[in-house]
Amino acid sequence: MPTTLAEALEIQRDEDATPMAGGTDLLVHWPEQLELHDRDYLDLWGIDELRRIEWSDDTLELGALTTYWDVITDAKIGAAFPLLVDAARQIGAVQIQSRGTWAGNIANGSPAADGVPVLMAYGASVVIASHDKHRQVPLERFYAGYKEMDLAPDELIVAIRIPNRTYRHERFIKVGSRRAQAIAKVGAALVSNGSGWRVVASSVAPTIRRCPTIEAQISDGEPLSSPDDLLPAIRADVSPIDDLRSTAAYRERVMSRVLYYAIEEMSHR
Amino acid sequence: MDADANMPPMSRPPIEVPFTLNGMEVTVSIDPAERLLDTLRYRLGMTGSKEGCGEGECGACTVHVDDIPVNSCLIPTYQVRNAQVRTIESIDPSDVGALLSSGATQCGACTPGVVMTAVWVREHPELLETHTLRELMAGNLCRCTGYDGIIDGVRRSLDEGQP
Amino acid sequence: MDRIEGLAKLTGAERYVDDLPLDGMLWGMTVRSPAPRGRVTGVHFGSGVDWSEFVVVDHHDIPGDNTVLLIETDQPLLAGEYVRHAEEPIALVAHRSREMVRRAIREIEVTIDPDPPIFDFTAEPTQDQIQHGSDNALKRIDITKGDVDAALVRAARVVEGEYRTGSQEHVYLENQGMIAWEEDGVLVIKGSLQCPFYVLKAAVRALGRDSDHVRIVQTPTGGGFGGKEEYPSMIALHAALLALKAEQPVRIIYDRGEDMRATTKRHPSLVRHRTGVDGDGRLVAQDIDVALDGGAYVTLSPVVLSRGVIHAAGPYACDNVRIRGRAMLTNSPPHGAFRGFGAPQTHFANERHMDVIAATIGIDPDEFRRRNLIVDGQTTATGQRITDGTDRVALLDHALELSSYHERQDKHRSLNASHPYLRRGIGLAAFHHGAGFTGSGEVMLASELHLAGLPDGRIEVLSANIEMGQGTLTVFTKLVCDRLGLRPEHVVIADADTGRVPDSGPTVASRTTMVVGRLVDDSDTGDRVTQAIIDWHVERDEPLVGHAKYEPPPGIEWDETTYTGDAYATYGWATYVAEVEVDLRTYTARVTDFVAVQDVGTVLHETLARGQIQGGVVQAIGWALTEECAWSNGVMQNNQLTNYIIPTSDDVPPIRVSFVENPFAHGPHGAKGLGELPMDGPAPAIANAVARAIDADPRAIPLTPEHLMDLLSNGR
Ligand SMILES: Cc1cc2nc3c(=O)[nH]c(=O)nc-3n(C[C@H](O)[C@H](O)[C@H](O)COP(=O)(O)OP(=O)(O)OC[C@H]3O[C@@H](n4cnc5c(N)ncnc54)[C@H](O)[C@@H]3O)c2cc1C
Ligand code: FES
Ligand code: FES
């Protein structure tokens, strides 16, 4: 049970242990996850230095144990990065927000995560450490494929660094099957600084990703006249599937509609 | 009660976890794979917290850890070392009068979790400046009341200044 | 009076089955069929487990008949040679450690030589899919009134429609569970259940014991909604088999995933209507075909079908009615009792169809109903003359007024014309539900109730009717208090323990309040006061017990063979109004306002009654909009609360409840049952509102966003 990051990184070097943060992904259906019971875990929860939230002139840095609730109740973050609060409030419910961490959301690698799209839209980087080095990876380059990511077994995510920029438009969209306690069927985060858009899509591809074709179309292209105008770009950028929660057809169609109306509303403001 | 009868065999070496439970210092010797919910229910015999799903959805297992509601089915017990844990067993009948009279409980299976969230809201009325009651209570599924009895009860307890 | 056991529940003191400590107890688990249909060719125990540490039970260990006795005996307790649905129990394993049982279960492989399953209850079975009778019909019921064919020929318009509903999972918050042990030669089975005497009868048959050597005790039950009506017998007997073999107490507690995969759900339905109306918009013929998916065994399908067909024509007067009903076998886990028992399905079809007819003939839906609602003196589909004095039209108008039905329609029209993607609509449903058991059921069940005077002067109520959240304890206590002028602390309700209480009939169909409550009312304990009871005990050494047996109201006549006559002693009547908002960006429908107006006779306890209605309405909102079982090869795939979507507090509006009190002479203080009504009306009201909002014609629920999108993109 490490209490400092240095200890934790040594354990990561020496042992094959799974990091445990809030446990809100790892412990789901725990009694039946028999194969997980005998594994070793590296409990991060006691490492207070990973709880720090730090502002500098040009960045906000969230320590790896920053929870959704920490962000929801932080007025300064809410003012500077409203999408973080929007997303956090739509994750699970209070009992999940109080425990679930942003870093856990990133490391879990779910294509339906809600924390990742807003971080990616804000251009966040993942700060990664091992016992002998630190490195930083832009979140948009962190995922290689479904649950595949740029994180070695001896490494930990220690922080998330978000450039402190101002945006003219910003919007988080989550389409779930109910208003709380729902996993996204379609998700998107959009920001614009006035000259161009960053668009991130979730639940419509093996990983959460930027959508360069959509970005190009809405930044420089013709004004949109209907949601259908976005379909070719959506098809170029993402590849939704049928699963238990929804259908590929629904995901594609609804993505076009939520994006269209969001852009409409923002550009009329 | 024969507490160990309910627990997995200690094929894994037990670990000691000290924490504060409803204001009292306790130390439990647990299986490392044990969830806080199981420690409370089966090891300590505090069966007030319920398991409705084991997946973090229903909130029947809600307890407070360091003054915030969490699902005890998603917490490895070792994570509460040195923490303050508060369960439904700490709730006095005089704390729940408004919930009782408004019909906040029917079958009672969701109720301990509902009460723990309700008590937290009651103790943090400032939350209502940013959140609705329905949003704050959304982590506690109830299949009996349709939620009106719960929401009315929490609102009344806020108005009357009692949990 | 507040809920009697409310404080215990609110402080976590109430002990449910999984909360009971027992020395030396074993955990039991169930080995289940991996395939939906076929011959069991082997049960292989993996070599990596030391099986001598475990207690293992299969069908050879059943002392009596291998059946879960209910209406029929076709359902085995543990499948021996043949399985008819996936997840069917085949063997049982117990061990002191729950994790060890979980690990062991995974090392058991069941092999099945498959036969062709059938999953579509609307399809004609092929010869090799027939598994029951000549055509897989588990039960057929027909109702005939007048001459439908002739009336259809005469009708000014004939409107047809086909309506579907899906299966629904109960999601009682407390999963199913039982414990069993033997004590001085008596097998004690305790657990979460609705009908202790069902379990007792099943135990006597399967365990080959007489009823003096089995005791069934209900533990506080964390929700049932019908889901703990028949399936608990299965779990109870499983726990018993393990306990008898192990000679140790055994507990079986399902986790959520197992509970959702293996236990019963609401019957899916397909209802077809062909309706004749005359030039004034009056019903002249209702030709209705009801098909239910019964699942793999008979279980309670005959009863569910019965209620489905009895309510299928709705609360309307029509001289010519033909209802043909059947429950069909499929190789899904048996569908079972669920709040409303078939009536929500047929009411959905009928009330959606009423809007379809109204639209076809160009009358407002409310006016069309007003013209056809039964007025006193007219008869129902079974020919029952209604003379209860309830003004059903006034009740409907009251609901319209409370919901500002007409004003909102105007508002919606202007919003819908201007808003880029939000659409609103308002819809209604008028319906009824019989109170208590169907027809002669009550007489056959011969409900009995005892009241005992205890030595300390308190009154004890002994009844097999159980508390599962609906307020039985409180209502009983209140009835006794009111009747005898006592305070609540002078009344105790005995545990539902078949070793002590008389058979009051099962706790189903909100009959508890109406029928059993009536027994309390009539009990021959009379108006003795506490002192008289104490005196009795001082003066003599014998118990003071009053018996009461249910007497049906006079003049009730029911013919079970022709399905004609007084199907129920009385009915609750209701009109519900739902307002919805559909977001065309996401095709999501949300209920934004809900008004529930009903006549349930006298309201015995306002808070409890309102809570029952609100809870039922929200459960029905889930059924209408989000709750959908994803089936694959007869197995529910979304057997998790994260994927089976029931409403949270943030998904529903406050449910506005209004009672119209028209006392029923034969209920306790004039009460009728009320627990089912809220399940019947919301789905059609919501579907009707959605139809208005988006100018579409939904014929099936749930109206998930995916289905709504398909509906809109396929034209209508
Ligand atoms: C009921 C419920 C509702 C939910 N709702 C949502 C939702 O709406 N939206 C959503 O996005 N998610 C949701 N989740 C998922 C989950 O809450 C989030 O993904 C959460 O952010 C995970 O964080 P954690 O700290 O709990 O992760 P953990 O469970 O502790 O860990 C998750 C994974 O990340 C790894 N990990 C954690 N921290 C680090 C680190 N610092 N370095 C390296 N690896 C690390 C772990 O090893 C593990 O593989 C829900 C979960 C539940 C149970
Ligand atoms: S049991 Fe923990 S949330 Fe359901
Ligand atoms: S009271 Fe039964 S689930 Fe809430």
Q: C178 by DSSP, 3-state: which?
A: strand
- Both tokens assigned to C541: 């050494």
Q: C365 by DSSP, 3-state: which?
A: helix
Same domain, B85 and B108: no
- Judged by average pLDDT, the poorest of C366-375, C563-572, C606-615, C681-690 is C563-572
Indicate if ligand 2 lies below 6 Å from the C-beta of B71: yes
C642-654 pLDDT, tens digit each: 999 999 999 999 9
Same domain, B115 and B131: yes
Residue C494 CB contacts under 8 Å (≥ 6 apart), including other chains = C460, C461, C462, C463, C500, C501
Residue B3 banded pLDDT, cuts 50, 70, 90: very low
pLDDT surpasses 90 at C517? no
Q: C186 by DSSP, 3-state: which?
A: strand
Rounded to an integer, the average pLDDT of A127-134 is: 96
CATH number of domain containing A174: 3.30.390.50
Task: Give the per-residue pLDDT at C465.
Answer: 75
CATH number of domain containing B102: 1.10.150.120
CB-neighbour burial class of residue C716 (10 A; exposed 0-12, middle 13-18, buried 19+): exposed
CA of A76 vs chain B CAs: smallest distance (Å)? 15
CA of B30 vs chain C CAs: smallest distance (Å)? 14
pLDDT surpasses 60 at B1? no
CB-CB under 8 Å, B135 with A28 = no
CA of C4 vs chain B CAs: smallest distance (Å)? 10
How many alpha carbons lie under 13 Å from residue C595 in its C-beta half-sphere?
22
Best interface-test mutation with A: which of C103, C649, C706 has the largest number of A CBs within 10 A? C706
Same domain, B23 and B40: yes
C295-305 pLDDT, tens digit each: 999 999 999 99
Task: Give the per-residue pLDDT at C481.
Answer: 79
Torsion over CA: C469, C470, C471, C476 (sign): negative
Q: C175 by DSSP, 3-state: which?
A: coil
Cα C195 to Cα A42, C219, C517: the distances in Å are: 49, 12, 17
pLDDT surpasses 60 at C626? yes
Task: Identify the domain boundary among B60, B89, B118.
Answer: B89
Indicate if ligand 3 lies below 6 Å from the C-beta of C173: yes
Rounded to an integer, the average pLDDT of B25-32 is: 95
Q: How far is the CA of B41 from the centre of ligand 1 (A)?
A: 25
CB C611 within 8 A of CB B146: yes
Distance CA C75, CA C86 (A): 14
Ligand 1 pocket, Cβ-based, cut-off 6 angstroms: A 18-26, 28, 44, 64, 91-92, 96, 99-101, 103-105, 107-108, 113-115, 156-157, 181, 183; B 55-57
CB-neighbour burial class of residue C60 (10 A; exposed 0-12, middle 13-18, buried 19+): exposed
CB-CB under 8 Å, C99 with B9 = yes
Same domain, B85 and B54: yes
A39-53 pLDDT, tens digit each: 999 999 999 999 999
Task: Give the per-residue pLDDT at A156.
Answer: 98
Domain annotation covers residue A113: no
Q: Which fold has domain C269-437+564-714?
A: Aldehyde Oxidoreductase; domain 4 (3.30.365)
**C585 touches A: beta carbon within 8 Å:** yes
Residue C473 banded pLDDT, cuts 50, 70, 90: confident
A193-222 pLDDT, tens digit each: 988 999 999 999 999 999 999 999 999 878
Amino acid, res. C360: T
Task: Give the per-residue pLDDT at C551.
Answer: 65
- Both tokens assigned to C509: 């169909």
Same domain, B121 and B136: yes
> Ligand 1 test: best mutation among A27, A65, A105, A149, most atoms within 8 Å of CB?
A105
Cis amide bond preceding C663, omega within 30:
no
Q: How far is the CA of C605 from the centre of ligand 3 (A)?
A: 18
Distance CA C99, CA A30 (A): 11
CB-CB under 8 Å, C102 with A34 = yes
Domain count, chain B: 2
pLDDT surpasses 60 at C50? yes
Same domain, B7 and B83: yes
Q: C707 by DSSP, 3-state: which?
A: helix
Task: Give the per-residue pLDDT at C670.
Answer: 60
Q: Which fold has domain C441-549?
A: Aldehyde Oxidoreductase; domain 4 (3.30.365)
pLDDT surpasses 90 at C375? yes
Q: Which atom of ligand 1 is nearest to the CA of A181?
A: 3
Counting one residue from A and one from C, how many pairs have CB atoms under 8 Å apart? 70
Per the structure, the complete domain to which residue A211 belongs is given by: 169-267
Task: Give the per-residue pLDDT at C157.
Answer: 97
Task: Give the per-residue pLDDT at C319.
Answer: 98
Task: Give the per-residue pLDDT at C668.
Answer: 62
Task: Give the per-residue pLDDT at C513.
Answer: 44
CA of B54 vs chain A CAs: smallest distance (Å)? 5
Residue C662 banded pLDDT, cuts 50, 70, 90: confident
pLDDT surpasses 80 at C115? yes
Domain annotation covers residue A27: no
Domain count, chain A: 1
Per the structure, the complete domain to which residue B145 belongs is given by: 91-160
**C706 touches A: beta carbon within 8 Å:** yes
Rounded to an integer, the average pLDDT of C353-365 is: 98
- Both tokens assigned to C619: 């459960």
In percent, the amount of chain B with pLDDT more than 90 equals: 89
- Both tokens assigned to C226: 């019908």
Indicate if ligand 2 lies below 6 Å from the C-beta of B59: yes
Q: Which residues 545-564 of C are in CB contact (within 8 Å) with A?
A: none
Rounded to an integer, the average pLDDT of C311-316 is: 98
Q: How far is the CA of A104 from the centre of ligand 1 (A)?
A: 4
Indicate if ligand 3 lies below 6 Å from the C-beta of C469: yes
Q: How far is the CA of A132 from the centre of ligand 1 (A)?
A: 26
Same domain, B20 and B56: yes
Parallel/antiparallel/unpaired status of strands C283-295 and C321-329: parallel
Q: How far is the CA of C661 from the centre of ligand 3 (A)?
A: 27
pTM: 0.96
Rounded to an integer, the average pLDDT of C185-201 is: 94
More confident residue, C560 or C666: C560
CA of C649 vs chain B CAs: smallest distance (Å)? 5
Cα C90 to Cα C59, C234, C461: the distances in Å are: 7, 12, 40
Same domain, B73 and B133: no
CB-CB under 8 Å, B79 with A95 = no
CB-CB under 8 Å, A182 with C645 = yes
pLDDT surpasses 70 at C524? no
Q: C294 by DSSP, 3-state: which?
A: strand
Residue C227 CB contacts under 8 Å (≥ 6 apart), including other chains = C170, C172, C176, C263, C264, C336, C337, C338
CB-CB under 8 Å, B89 with C25 = no
> Ligand 3 test: best mutation among B58, B111, B115, most atoms within 8 Å of CB?
B111
Residue C24 banded pLDDT, cuts 50, 70, 90: confident
Distance CA B47, CA B40 (A): 7
Task: Give the per-residue pLDDT at C463.
Answer: 79
Rounded to an integer, the average pLDDT of B108-113 is: 98
Distance CA C26, CA C242 (A): 9
CB-CB under 8 Å, A28 with B74 = yes
Q: A25 by DSSP, 3-state: which?
A: coil
Task: Give the per-residue pLDDT at C443.
Answer: 43
CB-CB under 8 Å, B148 with C654 = yes
Amino acid, res. C591: V
CB-CB under 8 Å, A95 with B69 = yes
- Judged by average pLDDT, the poorest of C129-133, C168-172, C441-445 is C441-445
Distance CA B29, CA B8 (A): 13
CB C97 within 8 A of CB B8: yes
Same domain, B61 and B22: yes
Task: Identify the domain boundary among B63, B89, B115.
Answer: B89
B137-153 pLDDT, tens digit each: 999 999 999 999 999 99
pLDDT surpasses 50 at A65? yes
Residue C270 banded pLDDT, cuts 50, 70, 90: very high
Task: State the ipTM, two decimals.
Answer: 0.96
CB B87 within 8 A of CB B21: yes
Task: Identify the domain boundary among B52, B74, B89.
Answer: B89
CB C100 within 8 A of CB C53: yes
Average pLDDT, chain A: 96
Rounded to an integer, the average pLDDT of C499-508 is: 66
Q: Which of C548, C629, C503, C426 is nearest to C201 (CA)?
A: C503
Parallel/antiparallel/unpaired status of strands B69-71 and C26-32: unpaired
Measured in whole angstroms, how far is the alpha carbon of residue C198 from the centre of its chain? 16
Residue A125 banded pLDDT, cuts 50, 70, 90: very high
Q: C437 by DSSP, 3-state: which?
A: coil
Angle at B63 between CA B59 and CA B67, to 5 degrees: 125
Residue C111 banded pLDDT, cuts 50, 70, 90: very high
CATH number of domain containing B53: 3.10.20.30
Distance CA C685, CA C164 (A): 15
Residue C682 banded pLDDT, cuts 50, 70, 90: very high
Distance CA B65, CA C588 (A): 36
- Both tokens assigned to A130: 């091992």
Which residue is it, tokens 């807003």? A118
Same domain, B15 and B59: yes
**CA end-to-end span of chain B, whole Å?**
32
Alpha helices, H only, C329-436: 343-361, 365-372, 392-402, 405-418
List all chains that touch chain B, counting a touch as 3 or more CB pairs closer than 8 Å: A, C
Residue B44 banded pLDDT, cuts 50, 70, 90: very high
Query: Which segments of chain C belong to CATH 3.30.365.10?
Result: 269-437+564-714, 441-549
Distance CA C44, CA C396 (A): 62
- Both tokens assigned to C92: 């049982």
In percent, the amount of chain C with pLDDT more than 70 equals: 91
CB-CB under 8 Å, A183 with C106 = no
Task: Give the per-residue pLDDT at C549.
Answer: 65
pLDDT surpasses 50 at C441? no
CA of B18 vs chain C CAs: smallest distance (Å)? 24
Same domain, B78 and B97: no
Task: Give the per-residue pLDDT at C470.
Answer: 77
CB C322 within 8 A of CB C287: yes
Q: Which fold has domain C6-116+171-262?
A: Aldehyde Oxidoreductase; domain 3 (3.90.1170)
Task: Give the per-residue pLDDT at C547.
Answer: 67
**C638 touches A: beta carbon within 8 Å:** yes
Closest to A177 (Cβ–Cβ): which among C255, C626, C640? C626
CB A68 within 8 A of CB A115: yes
**C41 touches B: beta carbon within 8 Å:** no
Average pLDDT, chain C: 91
Distance CA C716, CA C710 (A): 9
Chain C residues close to B163, C-beta within 8 Å: none
Task: Give the per-residue pLDDT at B2.
Answer: 43
C211-242 pLDDT, tens digit each: 999 999 999 999 999 999 999 999 999 999 99
Rounded to an integer, the average pLDDT of C261-283 is: 97
CB A127 within 8 A of CB A86: no
Alpha helices, H only, C255-385: 256-262, 301-310, 343-361, 365-372
Task: Give the per-residue pLDDT at A131.
Answer: 94
**A133 touches B: beta carbon within 8 Å:** no
Distance CA B52, CA B59 (A): 8
Closest residue by Cα to atom 3, ligand 2, is: B56
Residue C505 banded pLDDT, cuts 50, 70, 90: low
- Both tokens assigned to C543: 């118990």
Distance CA C87, CA C45 (A): 18
Closest residue by Cα to atom 4, ligand 3, is: B142
pLDDT surpasses 90 at C500? no
Same domain, B32 and B8: yes
CB-CB under 8 Å, B144 with C223 = yes
Distance CA B111, CA C36 (A): 37
